Amino acid sequence: METPVSDIAFTPAVKTQQEREGSRQGYERMEKSGGWDHLVDSNLKAFLAERDSFYLGTASADGRPYIQHRGGPKGFLKVLDESTLAFVDFSGNRQYISMGNLSENNQAYIFLMDYPNRRRVKIWGRAEIIEDDPLLLKRLLDDDYKARPERVFVFHIEAWDTNCPQHIQPRFTHEEIAPTIEKLEQRIGKLEEELATLKSANGTQIV
């Protein structure tokens, strides 16, 4: 039997815990029916195109984990091909922890959230840092985003999976709620005008 893609996360120790907690049988059925994917499909591509942030996980040579928030313009985590993602590394706090970790341990992890729709995507793989490819940098840059690019992170996908919406509390950015607020403000303005007209017709002073 071919090794399931999910074995990247379902190690023997994890499977032992699944057996003990009673979930192993269900995951075995999932593995037999296809399980997780390792190639970018149209759904994942569309999901990535709407994200303006994600979390990048790396670890040092001795396994000490580190997670870092990455942000940029919407869709800045781009699909290079069906098994490769890439994003521009913009100038930040200059700690370079992720870079240091990847220099000695290229295993990496990307975690993305879509709070309004209560969706999350997990991506396992290996990452490399590219510092001398101006054509790739130009391909990935958004000219309207005002930040200083320093290098490119290329992420080679080994597995990805989605999670259920359980326990995800919906949250919205200003950009996401702005159209709704604008409509409400317009409606309020119209109602105030109508109220003013009615009070004027009745000779009532507006307070």
Q: Tell me: the pLDDT tens digits for 52-63?
A: 999 999 999 999
pLDDT at 204 (0 to 100): 61
Q: Is residue 167 part of a domain?
A: no
pLDDT band with cut points at 50, 70 and 90 for residue 5: very high
Boundaries of domain holding 29: 1-35
Quick one: average pLDDT of 65-70? 96
Of 113, 122, 105, which Cα lies nearest the Cα of 8? Answer: 122
Q: Tell me: the pLDDT tens digits for 32-52?
A: 888 899 999 999 999 999 999
Cβ neighbors of 162 (< 8 A, separation 6 or more) are 119, 120, 121, 122
Least confident of 95-99, 180-184, 194-198: 194-198
Of 70, 35, 83, which Cα lies nearest the Cα of 150? Answer: 70
Q: 25 and 44: one domain?
A: no
pLDDT at 29 (0 to 100): 92
What is this structure's pTM? 0.85
Q: Tell me: the pLDDT tens digits for 123-160?
A: 999 999 999 899 999 999 988 888 899 999 999 999 99
The alpha-helical segments, DSSP class H, found in 56-173 are 97-104, 134-140
Of 72, 38, 60, which Cα lies nearest the Cα of 152? Answer: 72
Q: Tell me: the pLDDT tens digits for 87-109?
A: 999 988 889 999 999 999 999 99
For residue 1, pLDDT over 80 is answered with no
Q: Quick check: 111 and 66 in contact, CB under 8 A? A: no
Q: 76 and 2: one domain?
A: no
Quick one: average pLDDT of 10-37? 93
Residues of the chain with pLDDT > 90, as a percent, come to 76
CATH number at residue 62: 2.30.110.10
Q: 6 and 82: one domain?
A: no
Q: Is residue 44 part of a domain?
A: yes
For residue 207, pLDDT over 60 is answered with no
